[in-house]
């Protein structure tokens, strides 16, 4: 039917998307959050504060929500990437096909 499908239990997908969306809202006081779902991935972008360089280097960590996201991705052999974007916010990309 052309619609994106993900081969995983619905609760896992809900937790994954819920944590990424909650994180975007938490760090975006003003601005916007964009969710793009493709056949092979989902990208959640925000115009918030971006990723703290100390967190990227493992000095502060990403927080429990993102650790859960990483654990779900590992379980289903998906990849997750967090990066700063041009709007000074964050892009969270989960690739469902590896």
Which pTM does this prediction carry?
0.81
Cα–Cα distance, 92 to 82 (Å, whole number): 5
Beta sheet of 41-46, edge-to-edge order? 33-37, 41-46, 90-95, 79-84
Residue with tokens 């504060």: 49
* CA-based nearest residue to 45, from 6, 98, 83, 95: 83
12 domain residue, yes or no: no
Domain that includes residue 73, residue range: 18-95
pLDDT tens digit sequence for 20-70 = 999 999 889 888 999 998 888 999 999 988 877 665 555 455 678 899 999
CATH number at residue 46: 3.30.565.10
- The number of domains in the chain is 1
60 domain residue, yes or no: yes
Per the structure block, which two tokens stand in for 58?
Answer: 């493992």
Bridging pattern class, strands 41-46 and 90-95: antiparallel
pLDDT-derived band at 94 (thresholds 50, 70, 90) equals very high
């Amino acid at each position: 039917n052309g619609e994106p499908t993900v081969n995983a239990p619905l609760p896992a997908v809900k937790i994954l998307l819920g944590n990424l969306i909650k994180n975007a809202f938490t760090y975006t006081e003003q601005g916007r959050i964009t969710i793009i779902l493709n056949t092979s991935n989902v990208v959640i972008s925000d115009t918030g504060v971006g990723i703290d360089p100390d967190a990227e280097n493992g000095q502060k960590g990403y927080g429990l929500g993102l650790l859960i996201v990483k654990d779900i991705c590992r379980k289903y052999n998906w990849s997750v990437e967090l990066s700063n974007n041009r709007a000074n916010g964050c892009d969270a990309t989960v690739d469902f096909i590896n």
